[in-house]
Structure formats: C-alpha cells, structure tokens
Amino acid sequence: MGENQKLSVLLVDDEERFRQGLRTLLNFYNINSSLLIEVAGDADSVEQVLKFTAQNSPDLILLDLQLSGSDGITALARLKEISYAGKVLVLSAHQEDEWIFRAMQGGAAGYVFKNRLATQLYEAIDTVTRSEIYLPAEVASRFFRFFQAYSDSSVRACHQLHLTEREQEVLHWLTQGASNEEIAKHLYVTIATVKAHLTSIFDKLKVTSRAQAIVAAIKLGLVKA
C-alpha cells in the first residue's frame, strides 16, 4: 500500500475476545508500518455486516466463517448481491479444502488460518488491498488441487443442467441436511421460495425426492460426498 494510505476495516467474528485481539494486532501495524488501518466497526452476524457495509462502505472486511445464526459463506453471497466494492479477507479456523474453495469461489480475496494470523495477517492485508489474491503457499497448492478436482466437473455440470446460482446454493444446503426452514434462513428467502427452487432443481436433476436429489448431485459432481 502507498504511504499514509488509510484503510477502513470492518471486523466480523462472533467472539468479542477475538475481535479485541484483532484490534490490538491492527494497532500494532499502525505503530510499526506505513499501513494506516482504521477499525471502522465490528459485527457478529450477517445482518450486522450488511447494515454496516451499506451505511459505511468499508475498504476491507475481515470475515470469520462462523457467525451468529449463519456463516461467512452466506455473508459473501449477500455482499455480492448488494455489489460491495471493497475486499473481503477470510480469517478462519477451518482448514479444510472445501471451506477454502467455497470462500474463494464466493468472492473472498484471500484466506488466512486463525492460528497463523500473527505471521500472515499483515502480508495478507497488504496483498488484497493491492487487488491481488492472498493464499499462503501451503494453502495455495491445496486450493488449486481441489479447484481442479472440484471446479471443472461442478461448473460444467451446473452449466449443462442450467442450474442458477441460487439453485446451486439451495442444493448445497440440501446436501448438508438442512430443512426448508433452515435453507430459507441461510439464504434470507421465504420457505415458499425455497420450495420453488427445489421444484426446479428436482426437475433439472430428473428426481422426485430430496434423497434422490442429494445422490444425483454427488454423482454428477455438483457437490462433494
């Protein structure tokens, strides 16, 4: 980042102690570098993230994937819907390949494991604010292997079936065992809307039940078993 360039940041995590620790770390960066970070606010739920972002448009969102009543993947989807123009850097305890892939596919500009923040957060912030992607070396190699194995078949199958982005999201939650009510809550839509999406998904997959849809989705590579 350029010297004296200010960066407004929203801290998003469902643990207040972790947010306080982030503030301390970011203040340390302000003292010891030219990176001038202003913590504009914090949030612990998707609703708070959207409200704050709409009102304040922070330059950067530091986003946990475990939030009150929902998750960071949903937050990424909702931020995309409101055309958020800033960057999102995921800070997560999840180290599984699928979480990394889903976060990056959802629009995150970078991904850092929480147990590596002390050594990687400054570089990650500097990288994403230069409109570059940040993935630590050990994460990058795993991500791209998973991307090749997952994305090619999944994207191709989704295109062939003409599944919409929202239908893909409904299908994801379906394969996680979520009820219609839970899917509606995750995606901030009505239960009637979920049912309409499921009807369309069943038709495209040529199935008649939730169980058949899950099996078909896995066989077609739409989701991972």
pLDDT tens for the chain, residues 1 to 225: 545 578 999 999 999 999 999 999 999 998 877 778 999 999 999 999 999 999 999 999 999 998 878 889 899 999 999 999 999 999 999 888 778 888 888 899 999 999 999 999 999 999 999 888 898 877 776 666 655 555 555 556 665 788 888 898 898 888 888 899 999 998 989 999 999 999 999 999 988 888 888 878 877 777 654
Beta pairing partners, 110: 89, 134
Q: Does some domain include residue 47?
A: yes
Reduced to 3 states (helix: H, G, I; strand: E, B; else coil), residue 85 is coil
* Closest of 114, 111, 117, 149 to residue 133, by C-alpha: 111
- Does 95 map to a domain? yes
Give the residue carrying structure tokens 């620790």. Answer: 21
- Asked if 51 and 89 sit in the same domain, the reply is yes
pTM exceeds 0.75, yes or no: no
Q: Looking at the structure, do residues 41 and 131 belong to the same domain, yes or no?
A: yes
Mode of pairing for the β-strands spanning 66-67 and 70-71: antiparallel
CA 123 to CA 112: how far, in whole Å?
10
Q: Are residues 124 and 188 in the same domain?
A: no
Domain ends where: 110, 138, 166? 138
